Structure 1
Amino acid sequence: MAKRTIQDSEIALIKAMLDRGMKNKDIQFYFNRPERSVNSGRISTIRTGAYSNSGKILAASAGELDSFIERFASQERNESSPIDDHDVRKFFRRERDSLWYLHRGESEECECKQDFDPKKLTPVVRAIAALANNKGGYVFFGVGNNQCRVDGAGPAFSQTDIVDIINKVKAHLAPTPSITAKGIVDFDGKAVGFLRVDRQTRKLLMRYAIQYHEDHSVGYDYVVGCVVRHRLRFSVPSDFRVGEISLFEELEGADDEYRAWLAQELKKIGQEKLLAK
């Protein structure tokens, strides 16, 4: 029998969260670790008592749950550290038109976003994954994608707790990348928000990418495309479909072994046509 990875105390907290009406995808934020994922299916088995001896474990009290959530939030905030403004300003330059620009444009260590929308974090998750899988770097908000000009970010970025951003990332990337700083730098009255992302030594995998994809703020097709681009093997469900991406294009540069593997998996479910040009 496989060793149980979720402790009694964690099961008690999960049960208390379920009693409070929290959704599986929100609960998993608190228990996913770089070395251990707790997916929606596992939480469901705790709900029913089917996971090990979870049926015999009592839910934590309301006070215990409140204390746990507060400690968790404090720990997440403490893991981020302040960055000297100079470390961010070095990427920007005032040009002859007296406006500020990301002077080298987007690069392996810099990603630009026009603004920040906490309800549409797909582009942010994508940028964080790209930086973490490479050398690490910054995601800047309030910088136009076209000319990389500083236009200024709205108030949503400053109003969003770094814990909320980290939790969203935890739900979709494994191992969880390290976001070490969140801040704002002022350029002549225009605010540029930033997230500092550390380099990840292990390639990131989109968590529960296919079978456990629940959060539609991150599109299903994007998740599939990300997995294929990183040449990661996954369990292909019988209802596997994509309509907004081309697997043929996503496989550009892939080796013959990976192509053959994916072709074989699609053949099993009668979807070989998805590889057509």
Structure 2
Amino acid sequence: MTDDEIALAKAMLRRGMKNDVIHFFFNKPKRLISSGRITQIKQSKYGASVEEATQAALDEFLQNWEAQADSRSTPRTAVEQTHLRSMFHEQAGAWILSAGETDHTECKRAFRLNPEVRFADVIRSIAGLANNNGGYIFFGVVNQTFSVEGLSDENFAKTDPAEINRTLASSLDPIPRISKTAIELGGKSIGIIHVEKHAHAPIMALKNIGNDLKEGTIYYRYVGETRAIKPGELRQIIADREQKAVAEFSTRMRRVATGVDATLNLDTGEVNGKSGTFVIDKSLLSNIQFIREGDFSETKGAPALRLIGDVEPVKAVERHRAQVIRDNVTADAVIRNFLEGERVADPMQYIHFQAHAQRRWLPIWYYIRAAGCSVDEIVDDLRRQVATHPASRDAVVQRLLRKSTAQKEHLGKPSKIMAAILDGSVVPPTDEIADVLFANAVQGLPSNYRKAAALRPHLLASLNRAQGNNGKSSNRRSAIYRAACRLDELLYSHRSS
């Protein structure tokens, strides 16, 4: 490093900037410096005689740096080929990763997704990058010399990103977002995984895999290594989350203060907004289920409240059934909310879940109606999902496009039960054998059947009896789930467009 750079580094240290951040400003493609050099400067073991730069000089340096950075072309995406190639330079006939291993780049010599233990160190690296500021994992690059060796097989090229996502979903929570691509340098292929910084860090390991991944551990990407997070970085993640929460709260309060949003006093029932005030009768306050969205407008000088969504009182006996957003939607929650007719606070969660569930038959039309979206919007949304189980996601899409249906006619006893149902003679099932026969009968109901809602309690009772861990209970649940999907089609598919 030059004396001027050492002087600036000392000024950065005085300002409290971290070593890896300082290293970033002075590490260059044509002149790589060790990250330990900054530590040596800090300890007066390197450049001790150089006088520290003034804070004004440091400000000027940083401003010039930002101006130069802004003038460079910004990649449209993190995996843009030109941007990725610019991270390497050629030296003596070999290609080198210019910055080496940093807190946002890591090198792996080979790629192997299976067996899982061979991929554990990559899972750890992905978690570490997502918990920091995101970054890249390069496969086919030697991690000691940062030279491009290239991948020796086609495992990386042939691996579906969905397979990687499924592995991450079973190993980390929350699930990191990744992108996969490849480039060629000097005739050698490099695999690249880009990891996004996670908006809801920290990400934690869910299980043990070999010696590389330990259950309950939060990993963090430091310069040149991924390891269990230190207290300082964990405090920073927590502080960032708190800062976001405070910023969101402040934004909401500003909207209330300026009259963009209204406030409801739950004690008096008074609603105050920019355009006016009105009062909700106290007898209704405890019964208001939800207001999805509202805004104030003024027509011909008269204040008015336009409500978008449903506002309705509920009976006292049903209040305990009010649902909240579930952090972890389950297949059981999807079917039970449908069979019980429960309102859910965020129906899109229940729709998205079906792209990540192994179970194929789950009610969908009920939640589309609750979401207030068109079928085309939902189909496009599902197709954009990085599905943990693509086959399940694709099966849902086929149902929404009406190319597939839960309807399935069974011969024998189910056929006779279905005929009785159509005649209005519904005999509720009361045991395991009757549960399956009844569910199979419901699956065959024709599209003109109009009393499907009355059958939901009977399927719910069957579901409650099928909670064992054995194969028979699993088969009963499969029949019940498909029957519920048939009721879902009969009740709600014709109401969605």
Given the two structures, how large is their TM-score scaled by the length of structure 2? 0.27
| Bigger Rg, structure 1 or 2 | 2
Q: Taking CA–CA contacts closer than 8 Å with sequence separation of 6 or more, which of the two structures ends up with the larger relative contact order?
A: 1
Given the two structures, how large is their TM-score scaled by the length of structure 1? 0.48
Higher helix residue share: 2
